[in-house]
Amino acid sequence: MITSSKNPKAQWVRRLQKKVKERQADGVFVIEGVRLLEEGLNSGWHVKSIFYTDDLGKRGMKLVRAFQDSDTKVEVISENVMRAISDTQNPQGILAVFEMRSIPLPEGLNYLLILDQIREPGNLGTILRSAAAAGVQAVFLSTGTVDPFSPKVLRAGMGAHFTLPVHLANWNEIESQIKHSKLHSYLASVDGGKVYHQTDFRHPLALIIGGEADGASHTAYKASDSLIHIPMYGEVESLNASVAAGILLFEIARQREFLS
């Protein structure tokens, strides 16, 4: 059992939790909790190490045994060490270090979500979760968007990372993909363009959602073919980015008959 937070393995996990550069350099990220680890196991993503406490419940221990059967390295740690390396206030008693993997874009891409300068981790994770649920085929994250493998994004994403292609890209790459896939690009604007539910989304498209503070960048506006907006009442000027994304994604899903 690892009982000291100064143990090199414990310190490694702690660095991965805190620093983007550490995750990128090692090509790994950290997932916490039984449910998310089950998602990772079922998706077939490779796990480098599992860390758990000896008071883990039956469901968690079943998961540990499943990883052991796949020759994953498993470490028992004390509760104090788990608290030290966890990114949550109340750890669930199990976490894993997964290898990063890039899910390839599907052939015949016709529904792309582009997130431009989303900086709030909870918003990004929530949007990715909604995107997976609404039938989005892939997500591009422009430069300036928060790391998709940060702990808060992963928790809010609730497993979306394991099934949804999420790619970091600059605007030259994004515009090239839009052109290659022959997509019509819609940018969600605060007060410009056509009302979203009066817009026909039944053709191949890319939806661009801008950041919380400053909205979409000038480059994003230049890359868009059309502007759409969500009408609002009263004195409210704008919606939370994840709320706006959810509204638009499921209107697109409704029109494209992804939902029954």
**Using one digit for the tens of pLDDT, what is the confidence trace for 110-126?**
999 999 999 999 999 99
Residues in the chain: 260
Domain regions of the chain by residue span? 8-99, 111-255
Query: Model confidence over 2-29: pLDDT tens digits?
Result: 999 999 999 999 999 999 999 999 999 9
Residue 167's φ and ψ, nearest 5 degrees, are -125, 135
- Is the domain 8-99 a CATH 3.30.1360.120 member? no
Beta bridge pairs of residue 228: 188, 194
Please choose, from the candidates 203, 215, 187, the residue with its C-alpha nearest in 3D space to the C-alpha of residue 252: 203
- Coil vs helix vs strand at 4: coil
Q: Which tens digits make up the pLDDT trace of 182-241? A: 999 999 998 789 999 999 999 999 999 998 777 899 999 999 999 999 998 877 777 899
Collapsing DSSP to helix, strand or coil, 3 comes out as: coil
CATH topology of domain 111-255: Alpha/beta knot (3.40.1280)
- Coil/strand/helix, residue 221: helix
Residues 6 or more apart whose Cβ sits within 8 Å of residue 68? 74
